[in-house]
Amino acid sequence: MRKCPKCGERLSPLYFKTACKACSADILYYHFDERLEQDAQKAAAQEEKVQRLLNRLPLRRNKR
């Protein structure tokens, strides 16, 4: 069962319109951009952290 992300209205799987019938929020794209941006920021922060950690370590590659 799909739910409206804004008002929680239950929507039939056969309800193919992209707007909630109760609050007319855009179901498909509600917060979609926001989420993408958050993910991008998180990924960037993570990469920076890893990079800083790597910079602190002495460069020692696995030599066998």
User: In angstroms, what is the minimal distance from the CB of 39 to Zn ion?
Assistant: 24
Residue choice 2, 10, 17, 23 for contact with Zn ion (CB under 5 A): 23
Computed from CA positions of residues 30, 35, 36, 38, in that sequence, does the dihedral angle turn out positive or negative?
A: positive
User: In angstroms, what is the minimal distance from the CB of 29 to Zn ion?
Assistant: 13
User: In angstroms, what is the minimal distance from the CB of 12 to Zn ion?
Assistant: 13
Residue 26 binds to Zn ion (criterion: CB under 5 A): no
